[in-house]
Every structure is written in C-alpha cells, then in structure tokens.
Amino acid sequence: MRAGLVDRAGRIIDIKVASTPPSPEAVLGGLVELLAEVLENSESPVEGIGIGAAGLVDVRAGVVRYAPNLSYRDVPIVDVVSRKFGVATTLDNDATCAGYAEFRIGSGQGAEDMIMVTLGTGIGGGFIFGGHLYRGSQGFAAEIGHMVIDPSGPRCGCGQVGCWERLASGTALGEMAREAAALPGGARILAAADGQLERVRGESVMRAADEGDPVAKNLIEELGRNVGVGLANLANILDPERFVVGGGLIRLGEALLAPARAELLEKIEGAGYRPEVEVVAAELGDDAGVIGAALMVSSAL
Ligand SMILES: [Zn+2]
C-alpha cells in the first residue's frame, strides 16, 4: 500500500509505503493508519482523498466489490475513509488511476484514445476514450487481465482458465522461470536465485538476462509475445491510438515491448491498412496509481 501527499499538478510531496495486510479488515485499518501519517505531515489542509484499489470497484458506491487475487468482497472503503477524515473521498480501480495519471501528465499525454496496461502480479487496465475515462456501466470495465487467451491454459485466481494475466504477468514469468530453471539449460536462472528452485522469480530471469543468458532472454521474448496477443485483441475491439504499458515488468523495457509490438502487428486485423498502434512505456513508475487517484479526487472537487 502507498499513500502520498500530492499537489493539484500531480507532484508528489510526500509518500509512505506499507506492506498489505492479509485480511480485508486489516487492510482498511492499515489504510486509515497510513493516511493519518501522511495527513499529519501535510503543511496545508488536504482537500480530498483519492483511492485506487485492485479488482472490481463500484465507483458510485465507493465499494470494492471483488478482487480475484485478494480476499476482498464488498469493502466500503469510501464510507470508512470519508467518515474518519471528513474530506471528499473517491475510489477507483488502481490501474484506471494509473492510466489517468499517465494520460494527464505521463506518456499518455496527447492521445485521445489510450489504453493503460499494468503488468505486475496480475494485469490491470485503464481506458481513456475520446479524452475521457471509460469505466463501463458499473465501473468494472478494463479488467483486461481476465480476457481469456488460452481456453486450455492454467487456472486463474478469478476461477477461469487461460486468462491473459496467467500468461503475460510477473507471476507468469516466475512460473516460466521455475520451469526453465529445473532444466539443464536454466542453470544461470537458477544461479540468479542462489541455486534454490523455490526462490526463482521473475527477477531471477531479469538478472540472468542482464548477464546475457540466452535462455532468460528467450523467456522474456516469449512473455513479450504473450503480452502482444492481448494487445492485438484489445486493438481489434477498441482501436486505440496508444498503449501505455506500466507495472513492475516494464523495467524490462524494449526487451519486453519489442516482441509485444511484433506480435501485435502480426495479430491485428489488416495490419498493412491502418496506422501502427503505438506501444510505449509508462513514465510515472510505481507512483502512477497514487498520482492518478489524487488527480481524480482533485478533478471531482
Ligand atoms: Zn482470470
């Protein structure tokens, strides 16, 4: 969890980070504590609190309805926070917040139709169409990580199989890495995790690739290709001008984006008869969600 003091221009003045507690009740308690800490350090009165949370967020009610990778069910975040602090409070999906920040002050600037894709533990999304956020009828739009890419693929936290985030997220890279590390060719990936198979993560692949290991480089290319499959599906349905790709995996940079672009170009309908959809790296890093949530509440004031 991150809580930041942000000005109206989206500049972070102060930021505090805490690990996410396991139960929804503890998360709410921890969130209130973290907010109190940030508010205490503010030199001027805070005008509003914008919150981003993973999963299906009922924006109007201010409730997280469902988060597949966490145990959240119907958590009334806005009610609790606005009562406690007595200021305007908004809640939105975390990737939508990140997308809004990139659109306003990051690498989405100048695009009227952009899709934010956050590649982390799962895959999150945010839609900007015609220069405005698109949230769907309930606020549940852009759950792009649960687009089914492979109906015979691995089981997902949401209960389905073969979701995009099971094949193209940080978790997916970790699994691919453990499979590779168990084989003779994966020795350098295994070495990057101190020789312990159960400690192999996505980061082990990144480290081995940095040292020039061809097996690690292949895995990153495969992951990038899987990212591109989802981008092509989204492009065919929504015709965006630009994809802004963020989340922890974007540290891989062009090693990930180049194969994703190649796959997008291969899979998109009528590639030779349309302008190329831009695929760019996000600019605001891990703080994008915090900045976007703050910009959202400030625009609602
Ligand atoms: Zn899923």
Per-residue pLDDT tens for 155-213? Answer: 998 999 999 999 999 999 999 999 999 999 999 999 999 999 999 999 999 999 999 99
Per-residue pLDDT at 295 exceeds 90: yes
Distance 277 CA to ligand 1 centre (A): 25
Q: Is residue 155 part of a domain?
A: yes
Per-residue pLDDT at 19 exceeds 70: yes
On whether both 182 and 46 belong to a single domain, the answer is no
Mean pLDDT of 117-136: 96
Q: Is residue 57 part of a domain?
A: yes
Distance 64 CA to ligand 1 centre (A): 17
Distance 152 CA to ligand 1 centre (A): 13
Counted domains in the chain: 2
Q: Is residue 94 part of a domain?
A: yes
**Confidence band of 222 (pLDDT split at 50, 70, 90):** very high
On whether both 295 and 169 belong to a single domain, the answer is no
On whether both 159 and 174 belong to a single domain, the answer is yes
User: H or E stretch including 49?
Assistant: strand 48-53
Distance 162 CA to ligand 1 centre (A): 7
Q: Is the pTM of this model over 0.85?
A: yes
On whether both 146 and 38 belong to a single domain, the answer is no
Distance 115 CA to ligand 1 centre (A): 19
CATH code at position 241: 3.30.420.40
Q: Is residue 240 part of a domain?
A: yes
Written as six digits, the tokens of 34 are 């973290």
**Lowest-confidence segment of 18-22, 90-94, 211-215 by average pLDDT:** 18-22
Distance 56 CA to ligand 1 centre (A): 12
Give long-range contacts, CB 8 A cutoff, 24+ apart: 4-10: 4/38, 4/287, 4/290, 4/291, 4/294, 5/38, 5/39, 5/41, 5/42, 5/46, 6/290, 6/291, 6/294, 6/295, 8/298, 9/105, 10/101, 10/104, 10/105, 10/291, 10/294, 10/295
Residue-range definition of the domain harbouring residue 121: 111-282
On whether both 293 and 269 belong to a single domain, the answer is no
pLDDT at 241: 98
Q: Is residue 125 part of a domain?
A: yes
On whether both 220 and 77 belong to a single domain, the answer is no
On whether both 93 and 118 belong to a single domain, the answer is no
Which of the two residues, 25 and 299, has the higher pLDDT score? 299
On whether both 166 and 273 belong to a single domain, the answer is yes
On whether both 266 and 138 belong to a single domain, the answer is yes
Distance 42 CA to ligand 1 centre (A): 39
Backbone dihedral angles phi then psi of residue 279, each to the nearest 5 degrees:
-125, 105
On whether both 256 and 218 belong to a single domain, the answer is yes
Q: Is residue 196 part of a domain?
A: yes
**Lowest-confidence segment of 9-13, 38-42, 87-91, 104-108 by average pLDDT:** 38-42
pLDDT at 249: 95
On whether both 247 and 293 belong to a single domain, the answer is no
Report the SS3 class of residue 139: coil
**Confidence band of 22 (pLDDT split at 50, 70, 90):** confident
- pLDDT tens, position by position, 58-93: 999 999 998 876 777 888 999 999 999 999 999 999
The one-character DSSP state at 275 is P
Q: Is residue 106 part of a domain?
A: no
On whether both 189 and 272 belong to a single domain, the answer is yes
